[in-house]
């Protein structure tokens, strides 16, 4: 008999987790009120009444402790042959029933607090919501593994050949390779944030620099307004260094000790340092796969696979990625998930119509014009300097965007390529298609141009700016393939 057949509570250590989570959430949401209250209290004599302050503090802590205890006691779950049941709530009771057959994913995670008290959290997701359906915050590792196994019973395809198969390690990159992946990432998004923060910091603290009499060391970099070149160079170089270090550090912490293990047709992914994650992927549940690389990563033979499932929790999407794969592993992985994909997609790549290039030219012309207007207002007669960087970038943008975009439709799969710095390849099986939409604006209609939007349970894939006749043909063909397939989409 299952150890979870009768109503069960999580570990008693869950009280600590519930208390800390609730306390943190209240502080985060009320930080503005707390600061304002602190400013008011600072000017009042209430600070002189230490007993009152202690009583208020004890009262607040007592409320959170009692709330954590009651939440723990009223949180119970159990399993039957076909369903998972959860009851929770203090004043307002909630009863949740999840059929095992609808469970999309089960993953185990462990943040730094859970590591210190030796418990793990178990999350259950279905295809019906973008948020985590159920989270059990504190279980022992043994309990979590057993609960996960029992929830996956009757939910995982099995064959006599692999039912007792031993786990095989598919991918386990070294720490050096993970760090190398972090340094080779596309840093532009982080760079924009960092340079904004740095500029704001230096503007707000400029008078402190002057008071410390550091002018002799930094004035030719920052404090002299007429030396634009060195001023910009200082911000750019510092921002690039910080950006690369942050990206590399984040990649290392998130993917520390990454391992991908194949067991009974499932993939077990484990990774993380401060926040450990352990999740299982069933190939039949996968909706889309993205393969991501860039010029530097391709030279180093580094690729990332992003796996998309139906309505995955937005906070956990990053966990469904496998980094530091080589090209051979990509081909092997695709054959495991999509049978015969590599043999079906060697030819037949098609590009958008030249209409797309004209749109890119128009878009970049507007960007160049806008930046030149701003530069003229700021730099006056020296505004032309920005074009020494801007015009080459505009040409680069148009050329690369058109070069990297393509689509390919084979007997069983749709492949769409795109990108600028990164190169992304999106792969979707025909039987995963939920809806196909023919799209055409009034301007496109004048040019006999249209686009096709393909929807799955997790993503939207676009085939853009093809001829109207071709768009209609693609729409009809994909609808036929989706409706005539005898495979389940989930």
User: 416: domain CATH number?
Assistant: 2.30.29.30
User: Do residues 15 and 68 lie in contact, with contact meaning Cβ atoms separated by under 8 Å?
Assistant: yes
Query: Are 146 and 220 in the same domain?
Result: no
What pairs with residue 290 in β-bridges?
Answer: 306, 426
CA atoms within 13 A on the CB side of 135: 13
42 has a pLDDT exceeding 90: no
Query: Are 148 and 186 in the same domain?
Result: no
pLDDT for the residue numbered 409: 93
pLDDT for the residue numbered 218: 46
1 has a pLDDT exceeding 60: no
47 has a pLDDT exceeding 60: no
Query: Are 367 and 465 in the same domain?
Result: yes
For 28-41, give one letter per residue: b (16+ CB within 10 A) or e: eeeeeeeeeeeeee
User: Do residues 436 and 415 lie in contact, with contact meaning Cβ atoms separated by under 8 Å?
Assistant: no
Domain C-terminal end among 210, 237, 253: 253
Using alpha carbons, select from 306, 257, 255 the residue that is nearest to residue 422. Answer: 306
Query: Are 190 and 106 in the same domain?
Result: no
Residue with tokens 């190169």: 423
pLDDT for the residue numbered 341: 84
Phi, psi of 377 (to 5 degrees): -70, -30
350-370 confidence digits (pLDDT tens):
999 999 999 999 999 999 999
User: Do residues 103 and 63 lie in contact, with contact meaning Cβ atoms separated by under 8 Å?
Assistant: no
User: Do residues 250 and 182 lie in contact, with contact meaning Cβ atoms separated by under 8 Å?
Assistant: yes
Query: Within a domain: residue 189?
Result: yes
318 has a pLDDT exceeding 70: no
Query: Are 455 and 389 in the same domain?
Result: yes
**Six token digits for residue 310:** 């139906």
Residue 442 CA to residue 324 CA, distance in Å, equals 44
220 has a pLDDT exceeding 80: no
**Six token digits for residue 243:** 């950006």
Q: Which element (helix H / strand E) includes 77?
A: strand 76-79
* Interval 38-47 mean pLDDT: 56
The total number of residues shown for the chain amounts to 490
pLDDT for the residue numbered 157: 53
Query: Are 148 and 187 in the same domain?
Result: no
Alpha-carbon separation of residue 353 from 161, 359, 425, 464 (angstroms)? 49, 11, 19, 9
Number of H helices, E strands in the chain: 17, 19
Query: Within a domain: residue 280?
Result: no
Is the pTM above the cut of 0.85?
Answer: no
Query: Within a domain: residue 297?
Result: no
When pLDDT is cut at 50, 70 and 90, the band that residue 167 belongs to is confident
When pLDDT is cut at 50, 70 and 90, the band that residue 160 belongs to is very low
The DSSP code sequence of 120-137 is: EEEEEEETT-SS-SEEEE
142 has a pLDDT exceeding 60: yes
Query: Are 43 and 123 in the same domain?
Result: yes
**Six token digits for residue 47:** 């600070």
Lowest mean pLDDT of 150-164, 275-289, 373-387, name the range: 150-164
Query: Are 22 and 130 in the same domain?
Result: yes
pLDDT greater at residue 473 or residue 52? 473
Span between the terminal Cα atoms of the chain, in Å: 29
Query: Within a domain: residue 310?
Result: no
User: Do residues 465 and 353 lie in contact, with contact meaning Cβ atoms separated by under 8 Å?
Assistant: yes
Query: Within a domain: residue 94?
Result: yes
Alpha-carbon separation of residue 276 from 106, 176, 223, 314 (angstroms)? 14, 19, 45, 17
Query: Are 140 and 211 in the same domain?
Result: no
**What is the share, in percent, of the chain residues with pLDDT greater than 90?**
43
Query: Are 20 and 147 in the same domain?
Result: yes
User: Do residues 355 and 447 lie in contact, with contact meaning Cβ atoms separated by under 8 Å?
Assistant: yes
194 has a pLDDT exceeding 50: yes
pLDDT for the residue numbered 347: 56
**What is the share, in percent, of the chain residues with pLDDT greater than 70?**
78
389-425 confidence digits (pLDDT tens):
889 999 999 999 999 999 999 989 999 999 998 999 9
Domain C-terminal end among 197, 221, 253: 253
* Domain harbouring 18, CATH code: 2.30.29
* Interval 451-465 mean pLDDT: 92
Beta strands 259-263 and 168-171, pairing class: antiparallel
Beta strands 449-455 and 286-294, pairing class: unpaired
Query: Are 132 and 83 in the same domain?
Result: yes
Query: Within a domain: residue 265?
Result: no
SS3 assignment, position 303: strand
Query: Are 187 and 120 in the same domain?
Result: no
The DSSP code sequence of 342-402 is: HHHSSS--B---THHHHHHHHHHHHHHHHHHHHHHHHHGGGGGGGHHHHHHHHHHHHHHHH
As for how many domains the chain has, the answer is: 3
Mean pLDDT of the chain: 82
pLDDT for the residue numbered 102: 80
pLDDT for the residue numbered 308: 86
* Interval 168-178 mean pLDDT: 92
63-89 confidence digits (pLDDT tens):
999 999 999 999 999 999 889 999 999
* Interval 170-182 mean pLDDT: 91
Query: Within a domain: residue 56?
Result: yes
Beta strands 266-271 and 276-281, pairing class: antiparallel
Residue 294 CA to residue 339 CA, distance in Å, equals 26
User: Do residues 439 and 432 lie in contact, with contact meaning Cβ atoms separated by under 8 Å?
Assistant: no
344 has a pLDDT exceeding 70: no
The DSSP code sequence of 29-43 is: HTHHHHHHHHHHHHT
Query: Within a domain: residue 38?
Result: yes
92 has a pLDDT exceeding 90: no
Crossing angle of helices 175-183 and 228-255, rounded to 10°: 150
The DSSP code sequence of 134-182 is: EEEEEE-HHHHHHHHHHHHTTTS---TTTTTPPPEEEE---HHHHHHHH
Query: Radius of gyration (Cα) for the chain, nearest Å?
Result: 28
Residue with tokens 């979590």: 144
For 103-133, give one letter per residue: b (16+ CB within 10 A) or e: bbbbbbbbbeebeeeebbbbbbbbbeeeebb
When pLDDT is cut at 50, 70 and 90, the band that residue 432 belongs to is very high
For 307-326, give one letter per residue: b (16+ CB within 10 A) or e: bbbbbbbeebeebbbbbbbe
45 has a pLDDT exceeding 60: no
**Six token digits for residue 39:** 């400013």
Domain C-terminal end among 221, 253, 285: 253
pLDDT greater at residue 238 or residue 395? 395
Domain that holds residue 89: 14-152
Lowest mean pLDDT of 192-201, 220-229, 297-306, name the range: 220-229
When pLDDT is cut at 50, 70 and 90, the band that residue 222 belongs to is very low
pLDDT for the residue numbered 457: 84
pLDDT for the residue numbered 155: 59
């Amino acid at each position: 008999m299952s150890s979870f057949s009768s109503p069960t509570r999580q570990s008693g250590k869950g009280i600590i987790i519930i208390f800390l989570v609730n306390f943190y959430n209240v502080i985060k949401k009320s930080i503005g009120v707390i600061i304002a209250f602190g400013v008011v209290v600072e000017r009042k004599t209430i600070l002189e009444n230490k007993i009152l302050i202690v009583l208020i503090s004890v009262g607040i802590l007592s409320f959170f402790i009692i709330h954590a205890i009651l939440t723990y006691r009223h949180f119970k779950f159990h399993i039957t042959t076909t369903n998972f049941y959860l009851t929770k709530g203090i004043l307002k009771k909630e009863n949740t029933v999840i059929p095992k057959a609808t469970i999309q994913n089960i993953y185990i995670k462990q943040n730094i607090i859970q590591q210190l008290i030796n418990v793990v959290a178990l999350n259950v997701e279905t295809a019906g919501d973008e948020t985590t359906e159920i989270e059990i915050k504190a279980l022992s590792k043994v309990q979590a593994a057993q609960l996960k196994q029992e929830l996956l019973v009757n939910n995982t395809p099995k064959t006599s050949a692999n039912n007792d198969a031993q786990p095989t390690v598919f991918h386990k990159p070294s720490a050096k390779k993970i760090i190398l992946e972090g340094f080779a990432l596309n840093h532009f998004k982080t760079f924009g944030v960092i340079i904004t923060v740095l500029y704001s910091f230096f503007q707000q603290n400029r008078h402190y620099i002057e008071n410390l009499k550091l002018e002799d060391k930094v004035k030719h970099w920052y404090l002299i307004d007429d030396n634009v070149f060195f001023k910009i160079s200082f911000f750019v170089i510092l921002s690039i260094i910080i950006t690369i270090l942050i990206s590399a550090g984040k990649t290392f912490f998130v993917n520390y000790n990454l391992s991908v293990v194949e067991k009974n047709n499932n993939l077990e992914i484990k990774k993380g340092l401060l926040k450990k994650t352990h999740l299982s992927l069933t190939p039949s549940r996968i909706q889309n796969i993205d393969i991501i690389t860039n010029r530097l990563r391709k030279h180093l033979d580094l690729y990332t696979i992003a796996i998309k499932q139906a309505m995955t929790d937005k906070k956990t999407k990053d966990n469904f990625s496998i980094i530091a794969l080589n090209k051979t592993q990509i081909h092997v992985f695709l054959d495991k998930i999509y049978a015969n994909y590599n043999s079906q997609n060697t030819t037949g790549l098609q590009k958008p119509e030249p209409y797309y290039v004209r749109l890119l030219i128009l878009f970049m012309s507007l960007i160049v014009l806008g930046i030149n207007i701003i530069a003229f207002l700021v730099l006056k007669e020296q505004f032309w300097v920005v074009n020494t960087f801007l015009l080459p970038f505009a040409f680069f943008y148009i050329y690369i965007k058109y070069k990297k975009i393509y689509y390919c439709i084979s007997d069983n799969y749709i492949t769409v390529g795109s990108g600028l710095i990164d190169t992304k390849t999106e792969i979707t099986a025909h039987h995963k298609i939920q809806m196909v939409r023919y799209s055409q604006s009034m301007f496109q209609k004048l040019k006999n141009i249209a686009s096709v939007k393909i929807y799955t349970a997790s993503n939207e894939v676009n085939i853009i700016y093809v001829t109207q006749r071709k768009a209609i043909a693609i729409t009809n063909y994909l609808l036929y393939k989706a409706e005539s397939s005898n495979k389940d989409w989930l």
